Amino acid sequence: MDQGDGDTQPTSRAKGPGHRMNYFGSAFAFILDPVNWSASEANPIGSRLGEHLWYTLLALVISAAIALPIGLLIGHTGRGRQAAVLISGGARALPTLGVITLLAVLIGIGLRAPLIAFVILAIPSILAGAYSGLEAVDRKTIDAARAMGMTEWQILRQVEVPLGLPLIIGGLRSATLQIVATATLAYYVGAEGLGSFIFLGLGTNDYPTTLVGAILVVALAVVLEIVYSIIQRLVVPAGVRAIRPQNDRSGATRSRSVVGSPLQEGNK
């Protein structure tokens, strides 16, 4: 990577004939250089990454606070599902960049406009995960809980949510990845984040700088995907994990004394 004095970004300029720098090589060299993570740099990777994570977490918390209670209510009662599907479909169809631009015109530049857009983007996935998780719970299990005298709140909290938690986490997982990918647009209206590398690179035709932002966003999404996949496995109730292997083996371990001899089976 060729850097001049005070230059804190990778460069896409060629050194000469036969020495054109590789864009990806320059981008990775920039990312792996510890100097570029320092807060003393003009556009430090560490600060931009922290801002990107903060935007994602903030939007996720707000959207979860809105969507989870509604989704759990729909999943528990079975009412309002059609309306939720229609509203979620409409929200998914909204162009995020257009929403951010419109909100920026109405309420001003800064973080508020993209944050509202990210919340709108994340709500459908969280909502769908919540009511789908509860709908996936076996109705016989819920009937048994009612027969034991459990209240509706106890059924929701102690039966439906624990059994539906993997799908609920799946909704949060999908929403998080959508926000991470879209949070780059925050820079478009005056915020920061990893989008700063992408927009600065596009504005100056500096493709390695654009790749720096793109690579970091992809890496962040992959890390979060792995974390969520681990969480989804851990939240499966122990009783469900214990039953699954038995169910998988049951079809292959039946004794001949139960199902009959090969000759008898062939004559059936």
Positive or negative: CA dihedral 53, 55, 59, 62? positive
CATH of the domain at 101: 1.10.3720.10
Domain carrying residue 83: 44-241
pLDDT of residue 49: 94
pLDDT band for position 114 (cuts 50, 70, 90): very high
Residue 96 lies in a domain: yes
Residue 236 lies in a domain: yes
Residue 262 lies in a domain: no
* Sequence-distant (≥ 6) Cβ neighbours of residue 206 within 8 angstroms: 9, 10, 11, 12, 200
pLDDT of residue 210: 92
Q: What is the pTM of this model?
A: 0.79
Contact 220/180 with Cβ under 8 angstroms?
yes
Contact 209/197 with Cβ under 8 angstroms?
yes
* pLDDT of 20 above 90: no
**Top-confidence residue, 169 or 268:** 169
CA dihedral angle for residue 222, residue 224, residue 227, residue 232, rounded to 10 degrees = -100
pLDDT of residue 267: 45
Residue 220 lies in a domain: yes
Residue 92 lies in a domain: yes
Domain count, the chain: 1
What integer best gives the mean pLDDT of the chain?
A: 83
Residue 177 lies in a domain: yes
* pLDDT of 261 above 50: no
pLDDT of residue 42: 80
Q: Which residue has the tokens 């469900």?
A: 240
pLDDT of residue 264: 45
pLDDT of residue 228: 95
Mean pLDDT over residues 65-79, rounded?
Answer: 93
